[in-house]
Amino acid sequence: MTEPRRIHILNPRLANQIAAGEVVERPASVVKELIENAIDAGSGRIEVELESGGAKLIRVRDDGSGIAEDDLPLALSRHATSKIDSLEDLEGVASLGFRGEALASISSVSRLELVSNAAEDPQAGWRVVAEGREMQPRVTPAPHPRGTSVGVRDLFFNTPARRKFLRTEKTEFGHVEEAFRRLALSRYDIGWTLRHNHKTVHQLRPVSDAAARERRIAALLGSKFIDNALHLDLESGGLRLWGWVGLPTHARAQADQQYFFVNGRVVRDRLVAHAIRQAYRDVLFHGRHPVFVLYLELDPSVVDVNVHPTKHEVRFRDGRLVHDFLFSSLHRALGEARPNDTADATD
Ligand code: ADP
Ligand code: MG
């Protein structure tokens, strides 16, 4: 008979590395988490810079609220967040982050440097460095304009099993660009830059009018997308759906240009996917996939975003209502593409 092994609490670094397994899969996941923090900080400009597909360096720089000196070590601690305080806050959460895990996880599997300034004085600012997560990060003065820069070097340097799963530079950069695309499509009012190996890949000015939004979409998804898309903006019962849906004739062999946002958050949801498929059902050839960039806006308290650590899934309080609203809105928008449908001819 074997003796039972004794139970002990995992040391914090190991606990963070285990948690990192859920949120930090590859450079693109780091980019997503850092950009989400920059958005939550109210930034007007976000710059992303990478070397070697992000395996060597990922840096995200913003002009947001910054982090106060006293809060800097906490920012890297697990379960430390400025975004929620209570269960009520969680239920109505409007920020992209709230779990307080990203920086702790990322810093446990990389060499992370965070420089931030929460003051107006551009000479103020503080730096905190964590290599594979020392428990007591040191804070030293470092000038930085108002805002935050986070640099992540040598991702997975201390977890060789995960480092081995990184693909080629090109593949990793492809995933990063896709993450960037989604986030840049989620906030037109923010100016964005993406640089790879010292070359500018995307430079997007903040925009507010519809024509400029379409230009941004063309820059990110190609002008073919926007030239073959219908614009819609419909509202009913506290729900609003707006954005662009591709004409059925512009459907693709792969479902690779489908962007759906719920309250500014990129979401992949079965109920949403089903409603869209139904709306396109009789106008699309079998095996083809529609393209769309769609924004659903609703009261944050009727949608639960705390379903999965990456927050790509949501749960609607009234799924049926959302499904029917999506279906009828899209069915109506696609009416022009459905000339023989007599049911639509009456409205
Ligand atoms: P979460 O976003 O879930 O709160 P993170 O680990 O991503 O957790 O970040 C921890 C905290 O650090 C945030 O709650 C925020 O207060 C602060 N923070 C992180 N990045 C930034 C940033 N770019 N600007 C301002 N504050 C930031
Ligand atoms: Mg975060």
The pLDDT, as a whole number, for residue 339 is 58
The pLDDT, as a whole number, for residue 345 is 40
Q: Which of 40, 45, 110, 265 to mutate to test the pocket of ligand 1 (most atoms within 8 A of CB)?
A: 40
The pLDDT, as a whole number, for residue 181 is 97
Task: Output the residue whose Cα is nearest ligand 1's atom 25.
Answer: 66
Structure tokens that stand for 234 in this block:
């419909």
Q: Which residues of the chain have pLDDT under 70?
A: 133-135, 309-310, 336-347
Q: Which of 23, 34, 35, 37 to mutate to test the pocket of ligand 1 (most atoms within 8 A of CB)?
A: 37
Cβ-defined contacts of 260-263 (< 8 Å, 24+): 260/292, 260/294, 260/296, 261/185, 261/186, 261/294, 261/295, 261/296, 262/296, 262/297, 262/298, 262/303, 262/314, 263/94, 263/296, 263/297, 263/298, 263/300, 263/303
Task: Output the residue whose Cα is nearest ligand 1's atom 19.
Answer: 37
The pLDDT, as a whole number, for residue 187 is 97
Structure tokens that stand for 173 in this block:
């950069």
> What would the pLDDT profile of 274-324 be if each residue is shown by its tens digit?
999 999 998 888 889 999 999 999 998 899 887 776 677 889 999 999 999
pTM value? 0.92
Q: Give 75 Cα–ligand 1 centroid separation in angstroms.
A: 6
The pLDDT, as a whole number, for residue 338 is 62
The rounded distance, in Å, linking the Cα atoms of 111 and 222 is 36
How many residues does the structure list for the chain? 347
Q: List the chain domain ranges.
A: 12-204, 223-345
Q: What is the number of the ligand 1 atom nearest to the C-alpha of 60? A: 23
The pLDDT, as a whole number, for residue 346 is 40
Pocket of ligand 1 from Cβ distances under 6 Å? 33, 37-38, 41, 62, 64-67, 75, 80-83, 97-104, 148
For domain 12-204, the question of CATH label 3.30.565.10 is answered with yes
Q: What is the number of the ligand 1 atom nearest to the C-alpha of 101? A: 6
Please name the residue that has the structure tokens 């209502």.
321
The pLDDT, as a whole number, for residue 18 is 82
Q: Give 99 Cα–ligand 1 centroid separation in angstroms.
A: 10
Q: Are 197 and 50 in contact (CB under 8 A)?
A: yes
For domain 223-345, the question of CATH label 3.30.230.10 is answered with yes
